[in-house]
C-alpha cells in the first residue's frame, strides 16, 4: 500500500512539474527510477498517463482525469492520518513559497520553535522574489504581498506591512532630504520590488493625498538588493518596515518624509486551488500569524 501511495504522490509531482528529473529530486530518486515507478503505475492502471517525447512530458487525457481525482484523495488521506493520530502531530513535507527577503528577515528566525514542536515535519522553503506557480512547483503555501490577482486559489490574510521611504545618511547629506512628496522628482530613486506601483508613490498626510511620479536609473528585482543599494548611498528606496528594520535600528538607513504615510501592503497566505489544505500548512499559518502579531508592536507587521 505504501509503495502504491508513493507512486501516486510521485505521479502528481511529475504531472505538475512536467519533469521526471525534477519530481525525482523531490523524492530523492534518480530520473530513471522515477520513470520506472510511474511506468509501473501505468501498467497497474492499464492506461498511459503521460505522453513522453525527448522535449516534454505531458499528461494524456486519461492522465489529466486521473490527476484530478487522485490529488483530493491524497490530501484527504493525509488529513485522515492527522485526525487519527489525535495528538496534533504533523509530519511529512511542507513546501512554502515566499520572497527571499521575507524568508531571511521574518520567517527563518521563527522556524526553530515550530520545527522543534513538529520533529517529524520537513520544510522546503522555495525562496524566490517572483511569484511561484503553486501547482507546478508543488507549493503548499505561498506568502504574498500586495493585491492578489483574480484566482481560484484560497487566500487567508495574515497581516499588513506599513511602508516607508528610506535613504542612507550619506546620501541625505549629499543630496539633502526631501521636504515634500513633490521633491522626490529631484532625487535619485531606487526602484525595487516592494513598490506597489514602481512608477508612482502615493503618500498621505491627514486628508491630503499626493501621488508622486518617480523615475529611477536603478531598478532592482530583489528587495535585499534594493536595501543594499540604499545603504550604499545610491538613493531613496520604498520598502516595508520588515524589509529594512535592521538597517533603521543600526542607523544605516533613516526614514524620509516622516510626516507622510504610504499605503500598507496586505500579506496573504495563499493555498493552491483544487486540493485540500494540508494540516501542516494550516498549523504553520496559525503559528506565523501569532508570531507576527507579537512583532507588530515593533512595526514589522501589523495584524
- Burial class (CB within 10 angstroms; exposed 0-12, middle 13-18, buried 19+) of 151: exposed
Give me the mean pLDDT over the 199-215 stretch. 89
Indicate the range of 17-21, 134-138, 191-195, 235-239 predicted with least confidence.
134-138
Question: 152-180, pLDDT tens digit by residue?
Answer: 668 889 888 889 999 999 999 999 999 99
In whole angstroms, give the CA distance from residue 132 to residue 235.
30
Q: What pLDDT score was predicted for residue 154?
A: 83
> Across 41-50, 71-80, 119-128, 188-197, which has the greatest mean pLDDT?
41-50
- For 63, 161, 182, 302, the CA distances from 194, given in Å and listed in that order, are 40, 11, 20, 17
Confidence check: pLDDT of 72 > 90: no
Q: What pLDDT score was predicted for residue 43?
A: 93
Domains belonging to the chain, first-starting first, are 1-86 (1.10.10.10), 87-158+265-303 (3.40.190.10), 163-263 (3.40.190.290)
Q: What pLDDT score was predicted for residue 128?
A: 79
Average pLDDT, the chain: 85
Confidence check: pLDDT of 1 > 50: no
Question: 126-154, pLDDT tens digit by residue?
Answer: 887 666 666 666 788 999 887 777 566 68
Give me the residues paired with residue 6 across strands.
none
Q: What pLDDT score was predicted for residue 298?
A: 43
| Confidence band of 88 (pLDDT split at 50, 70, 90) | low
Confidence check: pLDDT of 3 > 90: no
- pTM of the complete model: 0.69
Q: What pLDDT score was predicted for residue 111?
A: 94
Q: What pLDDT score was predicted for residue 152?
A: 60
Question: 213-264, pLDDT tens digit by residue?
Answer: 888 889 998 889 999 999 999 999 999 888 899 999 999 999 999 999 998 8
Confidence check: pLDDT of 91 > 70: yes
Q: What pLDDT score was predicted for residue 257?
A: 95
Quick one: residue 91, left, alpha or beta (phi over 0 = left, psi -120 to 50 = alpha)?
A: beta
Which parts of 11-131 are beta strand (E)?
Answer: 50-52, 57-59, 92-98, 121-127
Confidence check: pLDDT of 23 > 60: yes
77 contact partners, CB below 8 Å, separation of at least 6: 5
Map residue 180 onto helix, strand or coil: coil
Question: 275-286, pLDDT tens digit by residue?
Answer: 667 888 989 999
What does residue 37 show for φ and ψ, rounded to 5 degrees? -65, -40
Amino acid at each position: 500500500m505504501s509503495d502504491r501511495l508513493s507512486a501516486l504522490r510521485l505521479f502528481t509531482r511529475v504531472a505538475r512539474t512536467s519533469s521526471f528529473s525534477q519530481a525525482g529530486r523531490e523524492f530523492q530518486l534518480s530520473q530513471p527510477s522515477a520513470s520506472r515507478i510511474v511506468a509501473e503505475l501505468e501498467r497497474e492502471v492499464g492506461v498511459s498517463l503521460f505522453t513522453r517525447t525527448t522535449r516534454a512530458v505531458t499528461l494524456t487525457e486519461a492522465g489529466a482525469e486521473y490527476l484530478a481525482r487522485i490529488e483530493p484523495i491524497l490530501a484527504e488521506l493525509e488529513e485522515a492520518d492527522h485526525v487519527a493520530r489525535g495528538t496534533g502531530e504533523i509530519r511529512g513535507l511542507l513546501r512554502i513559497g515566499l520572497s527571499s527577503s521575507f524568508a531571511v528577515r521574518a520567517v527563518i528566525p521563527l522556524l526553530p520553535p515550530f520545527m522543534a514542536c513538529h520533529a517529524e515535519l520537513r520544510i522546503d522553503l522555495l525562496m524566490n522574489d517572483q511569484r511561484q506557480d503553486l501547482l507546478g512547483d508543488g507549493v503548499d503555501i505561498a506568502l504574498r504581498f500586495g493585491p492578489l490577482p483574480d484566482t481560484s486559489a484560497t487566500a487567508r490574510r495574515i497581516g499588513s506591512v506599513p511602508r516607508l521611504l528610506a535613504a542612507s545618511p550619506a546620501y541625505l547629506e549629499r543630496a539633502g532630504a526631501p521636504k515634500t512628496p513633490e521633491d522626490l522628482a529631484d532625487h535619485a530613486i531606487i526602484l525595487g520590488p516592494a513598490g506597489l506601483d514602481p512608477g508612482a508613490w502615493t503618500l498621505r498626510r491627514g486628508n491630503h493625498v499626493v501621488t508622486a511620479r518617480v523615475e529611477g536609473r536603478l531598478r532592482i528585482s530583489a528587495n535585499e538588493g534594493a536595501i543594499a543599494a540604499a545603504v550604499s548611498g545610491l538613493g531613496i528606496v520604498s520598502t516595508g518596515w520588515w524589509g529594512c528594520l535592521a538597517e533603521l535600528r543600526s542607523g544605516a538607513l533613516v526614514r524620509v518624509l516622516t510626516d507622510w504615510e504610504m499605503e500598507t501592503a496586505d500579506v496573504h497566505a495563499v493555498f493552491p486551488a483544487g486540493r485540500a489544505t494540508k494540516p501542516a500548512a494550516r498549523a504553520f499559518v496559525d503559528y506565523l500569524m501569532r508570531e507576527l502579531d507579537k512583532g507588530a508592536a515593533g512595526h514589522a507587521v501589523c495584524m
